[in-house]
Structure 1
Amino acid sequence: MSADYVLETRNLVKEFKGFTAVDDVNLKVERGTIHALIGPNGAGKTTVFNLLTKFLTPTTGTILFNGKDITSMKSAAIARKGIVRSFQISAVFPHLTLLENVRIALQRNEGNSFHFWKSEKVLDKLNDRALELLDEVGLKDYANAITVDLPYGSKRALEIATTLALDPEMLLLDEPTQGMGHEDVSVVADLIKKVSANRTILMVEHNLHVVAQLADKITVLQRGAILTEGDYATVSQDPQVREAYMGVEADDEVANAIAAESAAASAAEKEAVK
């Protein structure tokens, strides 16, 4: 019986003035799994995310979601289809409460524009669901706290709550543990595992300990192309993967050394997007 793929790319290419950032990528993400996209600096990981969510337009190639061609759709239409992403930098409203942040996201599902001009009482009907989502990410007790006062790990958890408010079928998480201490990394990794129930997750992640803990399948990119795919045990022992991360022929310690990949998006990707 063939696998059920929720997201596929076919011969996906993105070029920037002669620089090929994504090179003939054929990605298949199976429904109900956590799929990790990893690779050394400049591999094209975030560029792939930007193509999937239409912040960038492919040079050539096709993107399929639930078997339907979404290549020509705009980013807002992609989100309405059920593909919702986070970003490397936490994207929340710092001077609103946690409850208000989630409630703003819930308004999108009301089928109307944001009701900033209406009485707050009109939006109170969203409070119960907002509190449920905050509870799901372990933040219900802080519902009335101002977001700017939260530690960084909690802000990332809040961002996941606002993402879940859009009721996505598929979550794209871009470096969800970037910049975190060990304790926050563990909390967010557990949270990702929890919210993956009945959802598909594709994540770019530099922390290979997190990838080993969470990912059902891993795709390794190098210079914009797929180097190899498989589970963590297979990928971490692949000589090509070791060399791609380390730049040398590697020994049995390389699987641990891979976890030192930079958390920042590559300078090449940033300059290309500009």
Structure 2
Amino acid sequence: MSDVILEAKQLTKEFSGFVAVSDVNLQVKAGTIHALIGPNGAGKTTCFNLLTKFITPTAGQIIYKGQDITHKSSAEIARIGMVRSFQISAVFPHLSVLENVRLALQQRTGTSMHFWKSESTLNHLNDEAMAYIEEVGLESYAKDTAVSLPYGRKRALEIATTLGMSPDLMLLDEPTQGMGHEDVDKVTQLIKKVSAGRTVLMVEHNMKVVSSIVDTITVLQRGKIIASGNYAEVSNNPQVIEAYMGSSSNATLGAH
């Protein structure tokens, strides 16, 4: 698929005179995994927060599926299929894995405020919830509380709750941050698996993850896009090398 699902046009964000994101033009193609990367202070988190409607742009436009969403809220865009995961923690620690995913389904179906109803009235959601739990490999943990899960499994649960919102575009914020190598590999493969039939936009610092699963990489520096393309193109771009290494002399962007 080559249709553009998400587009930013001349996106700009100023904070008290400081330009954090400057004139960013970005296209995310449907059915791909797209990563925003950049050195510390590059503006990638601010850009991601703009695209996911957690902050409002100073100027510019955001288009999702041909619709202008520049002034819509994060809740409004979630309802039309653009769902962000991996904020601080997207799960309720003392609910079970099944209950967490079921809550995401309740939110999608508009019954999330029905707290006064008997739990048995939610059992019709169990099969669908289990399907998402199985998709992320947590079926043996379905009755366990979220707080008891190992760190990598918590991230898998966050993906399952995101899937429960039926996203066309999944937005992942540093999905492997703070993980050991084994968990990084598991979550990387999980993102690859759940991206089938969906689009993923992610902020990611781990170049091994980016090089192994991402189709398109957009590199930011000082709030501006300096390169966009596949890993081979971006990793050999002199501007990118200089941004990361501080020098353009025979350095390459390593997958570490």
Distance in 1 separating the partners of 2:103 and 2:111: 11
Percent identical pairs in the alignment equals 64
The one-letter amino acid paired with 1:60 is A
For the Cα contact (< 8 Å) 1:7–1:64, is it kept in 2?
yes
Count residues with an aligned counterpart.
256
Scaled by the length of structure 2, the TM-score of the pair is: 0.97
- The 5 A counterparts of 1:1-274 are 3-252=2-251, 254-256=252-254, 259=256
Any idea what SS the aligned residue of 1:14 has? strand
| Alpha-carbon spacing, 1:177–1:250, altered in 2? closer, same or farther (3 Å) | farther
Any idea what SS the aligned residue of 1:42 has? coil
Scaled by the length of structure 1, the TM-score of the pair is: 0.91
Distance in 1 separating the partners of 2:31 and 2:200: 8
Distance in 2 separating the partners of 1:64 and 1:76: 16
RMSD: 1.3
For the Cα contact (< 8 Å) 2:7–2:28, is it kept in 1?
yes
Alpha-carbon shift at residue 130 of structure 1 (Å): 0.8
For residues 16-64 of structure 1, the C-alpha deviation after alignment (integer angstroms, 9 at most, x for no partner) is 0011111000000011000111000011111111111211000000000
For the Cα contact (< 8 Å) 1:220–1:228, is it kept in 2?
yes
The one-letter amino acid paired with 1:92 is V
Distance in 1 separating the partners of 2:108 and 2:205: 32
Please identify runs of 4+ aligned residues in structure 1 that moved more than 3 A. none
Alpha-carbon shift at residue 249 of structure 1 (Å): 2.7
For residues 231-260 of structure 1, the C-alpha deviation after alignment (integer angstroms, 9 at most, x for no partner) is 0001011111011012123424x322x74x
For the Cα contact (< 8 Å) 1:94–1:147, is it kept in 2?
yes
- Structure 1 window deviating more from structure 2 (113-122 vs 138-147): it is 113-122
Unaligned runs of 5+ in 2: none
